[in-house]
Amino acid sequence: MSQLAHEPSEVARYFAVLAETMPCPVIQFGPSGRVLIANSLAQPLLTEPGPGDGRRVLLSDGREFWDAIAAEALSGAPLLSGSARVLVSGGDPATIWYAGFPAATHQGELMGAVVLVYDATSEQLMSSVRPEHADRRPDELGWIVEGVAQATRADAVLLAELEPDQPRTGRTLAAFVDGAARPDLVWDLASSPAPSAPGKPLVVVADGLHDRFADDDLARSRGYRAFAGALVLSRTGERIGALGAYFLEPISHAASARGVLRLFASLAARPLESMRAARALVESEQRAAALFAHGHLPILLIDPASTQVVEANPAASRLYGIPQDELVTMSVLQLAAGSPESLRAEVRSAARGFRDRFVTKQITARGDVRELEVFAGPLEMGGRTLVYAVLHDVTEKRRAEAEAARYRKELELLVQRRTADLLDATSTIEAERERRARVFRDMGLELKTPLQTILGFSETLATGLAGELNAEQMRQVLMIGEAAKKLGALVEDVLEFSRLETGAVEEMRVEPFDLRHLAEQVVVSARAEAADKGLTIAAEVPGEPIAVETDRTRLEQILVELVSNALKYTRQGGVTVRVLKPSDGRATIEVADTGVGIPPEELPHIFEEFRHLRTEPSGLHEGTGLGLALCKRLAEVLGGRIEVASEVGVGTTFTIVFPMQAAKARDPK
């Protein structure tokens, strides 16, 4: 680079660095046409100075180029553009095309101009002179640190590559100290003031470096007082390097130092990215080679035109049972167990990128046929397109799938047969249930008429309409009447149970009501019976209404049966009907007693028909034995259930749980 002013300012030095980075000749003219700054590419345009004058640019007729652009600038043009015939080194004329801008005071006085030459007829001008770093390899970054040292007059300049995830760790790439390259110098970024965050890519410590960064070995050992540094960022904003300059004297113009460091950091980004990309490519190739050579998956490289195996890894050799040196002399069609033309078409489709997966059958040197799943695609190598093929042996998998399919089919047939048997058994059970229910119904209907006759005549005898009876006769007539009433109740229960069993039940008569009132009503109706036995009965209900919509009659029938059952098996204490607060749209009622309790072995059978407890207080089987079975069926009709918990000698609790709103709500008729 060329700086022609005798005492260039920091800003002028910065502009000179900027001009040197331009890919075309750049010249800065002073007020009298003297060249102040010219980059390396502009050197062929400069003529030798006259007596007491600096270098200038001359036209081919001997006049100064400055006079031409000055006249253009004074005409009021905000930008300079045009062409001129100038002399280049050696005295040869050449035509140049240029663009630029003038610099003038507020009063319009021309102070200079900057001109960029973007084309010329002179090969010497446009191609023979290159910047010093033009032919450098991307990994030769010494010109970066040397350029920073020259532009900023730094005493030491260092460039380091940063680790991706460690902002204070790096590898020193280049160092320039005291006017000489120092490839042996290592920059300790951890103790230096070098920037590390992309949000703060520039750092300037104008003075007092050894006080603020006492751990910086380089600053302490050499007595550096100032530092300026910049991050090297990739095109995507990733931090890839750090550039730092150390000074023995304080930095007097921080803005200029920041500008130079930023400029050279941007210049370093491209070669540093190229170096990292080249290294990544080498590493990728090494990994690919290692994967090919040592991977457990068989891989072939195939020429799609000839179908010849160009390369095969050891895993492929083991798969086919053919040595590698022999395998690469064969066509992949020689290995086909099926149609060779079909395999040829698959390979060519993979070469054009139309197929990336197909299945083929291959024969090995051992004579067995293997079914292979092939993942393939085009691969450019040595100027020609090959097909890579990663082979996955799925022979055993296919056999297992076929075996599984066979077992699945057999299982489906077995399930179908068992389902048919189950349906037959279910039909038989349903038929038996209907037959039994029909027997109960017919028996009940047959018994109702003679029962009514017995009950009617016993009442007639008891009232004396057939004549006066003595005391013994009256007692026996009353016994006949009571037995007839119990038998009538049994008949009604049998008929009701048969209707529930066969599904011949009336539609639910759903109505809204307060569950508390129903519980209290049932308790009131049972108080006389409880008092006769010396027991208490009470209702425990919440303070707020419990609104439900269900079949009130059937729910009342369940509660009456459970309360009656509780009174029958309670000797002392009492019975409590408890209404709980609803939960999840379901209502709950408990009927608890302090009776004899139910033995654990009896609990599983408590809801069976004609089941009587072995521990009944009287030792006799009171009731029909169908009450709890009917309660269970009625609860199911309501969409609910009945649960029981009991402890012998403590008591029993029956719990009814049912929906607060019946599933098929209908207005009562």
Yes or no: say if 589 and 515 are a contact pair by the CB < 8 Å rule. yes
Q: Which residue's entry shows tokens 């078409």?
A: 345
Q: Is the pLDDT of residue 535 over 80?
A: yes
Mean pLDDT confidence for 547-556: 92
One-letter amino acid at 445 equals L
Q: Collapse the DSSP code of 666 into the 3-class scheme (helix H, G, I; strand E, B; otherwise coil) and give the result.
A: coil
Mean pLDDT confidence for 118-134: 60
Tens digit of pLDDT for each residue in 45-92? Answer: 888 765 545 788 899 888 889 888 888 888 777 888 888 999 887 778
Distance between CA atoms of residues 630 and 627, nearest Å: 5
Q: What integer pLDDT is reported at residue 621 of this predicted model? A: 45
Tens digit of pLDDT for each residue in 175-203? Answer: 999 999 998 999 998 889 998 888 888 89
Say whether pTM exceeds 0.75: no
Average pLDDT, the chain: 83
Pairing, β 574-583 against β 536-540: parallel
Q: Is the pLDDT of residue 616 over 80?
A: no
Of the listed ranges 45-49, 85-89, 231-235, 364-368, the one predicted with least confidence: 45-49
pLDDT class for 459, splitting at 50, 70, 90?
confident
Q: Which residue's entry shows tokens 């900057």?
A: 114
Percent of the chain at pLDDT exceeding 90:
32
Q: If you write DSSP's letter for every residue of 586-637 in order, what string do you get?
A: EEEEEEEE-SS---TTTGGGTTSTT---TT-TTSS--S-S-HHHHHHHHHHH
Distance between CA atoms of residues 244 and 203, nearest Å: 9
Tens digit of pLDDT for each residue in 476-508? Answer: 877 887 777 666 666 666 666 666 665 545 567
Q: Is the pLDDT of residue 458 over 70?
A: yes
Taking Cα atoms as reference points, which of 456, 450, 430, 458 lies closest to residue 491?
A: 450
DSSP structural state of residue 248: S
Tens digit of pLDDT for each residue in 384-424? Answer: 889 999 999 998 888 888 888 888 898 988 898 888 888 88
Distance between CA atoms of residues 529 and 567, nearest Å: 8
Distance between CA atoms of residues 469 and 464, nearest Å: 7
Helix (H) or strand (E) holding 167: strand 166-177
Residue ranges and CATH numbers for the domains of the chain are: 2-128 (3.30.450.20), 142-280 (3.30.450.40), 295-390 (3.30.450.20), 398-502 (1.10.287), 510-659 (3.30.565.10)
Mean pLDDT confidence for 101-107: 80
Mean pLDDT confidence for 469-473: 80
Of the listed ranges 15-19, 109-113, 498-502, the one predicted with least confidence: 498-502
